[in-house]
A and B are shown apart, each in its own frame.
Chain A
């Protein structure tokens, strides 16, 4: 299935395929990955413009709700960036994130959301080029996957539930 078909199959509210580009919300830790993204800027590296970075102090602060909230509000993918293992500014926040991430990925696949849509990367303050690489790679991957359109799907699910309920009541 090509992205266009996929978008069509995904149901309502999908913008025309020609204009569609994936939307990525990124949660970057202040000390490593956010700084690396700054370095990418200072080094004038060029990457895909469809990523929106939200700064947190530590990847350990990333609440699974943030990820789900982003997807439910129309993000096609979520990227989490933290310090490399052993390098966390707060000793071990990144490990805590890793644990949550593993669990969340399982839950996402149960919900029919492709696991590639949520990605965790360790990017140190010196790895500006990795920021570029990961964002471009993810952007290409999501383009191939097509829109997630969770808001549209949720509407469909709601309608289905309402119909079922009405059928029961009738």
Chain B
């Protein structure tokens, strides 16, 4: 299948490990991603907080560009992009005044948005279109023995629970199980990571990071798997600060796509695993080579 692809600023910057692992994994599964030409800021974070309408206009330009390519679907891996693009589409359909502004702004640059593009999250595509069975078949190095706490963050199921339950999403749980990993029951899976607070009210932000990491540790998780660049950064970058306030809670946070890459046996250097501050050292059993097989039989 083929989708338009909106990386957003994160996947080109701080969260580049997400893109680095996402692209080969999707390719490996036969999903073709065509990066949107001349995309712009999705409208998240500061924009959305200050002026919703302007944020929607920014998002609408990306949606209009996607429609122009003729692709009906746009993949937005970053949780914030995914939310804002969905929100812009929602507002476009339900709030005529905002739609008018969007239409007007787009017309000024010769673009038009019809409100058709479906905004898809990679998890949604993996479970709904690719299917767990297809994923399972690509697994050559099952993540046997790896205990993962699935962490979805606040944005991909709220407020738009388009492909999973709002309170207890399980898409990533199922995916990780298909990879052979052990999923740790993690009741904090949709709690705030503190990402918006670490800059503004650091004490509150650090406390949230600590809670998330500590709870994962208490439940025996070897790592947290996430879908959001902001969560990943937040849970990865402040270990020292958290340790100084609450004591050490060393748990690496990885993208689910990185774990998929490991399980698929993709070259590790392609997966951006070395970009984290707290690296995941665990590795699955290597793929048995024909030579080693012979050695065993011999």
Touch between A and B in complex, CB under 8 Å?
A: no
What is the interface of chain A, defined by CB distance below 8 A to chain B?
none
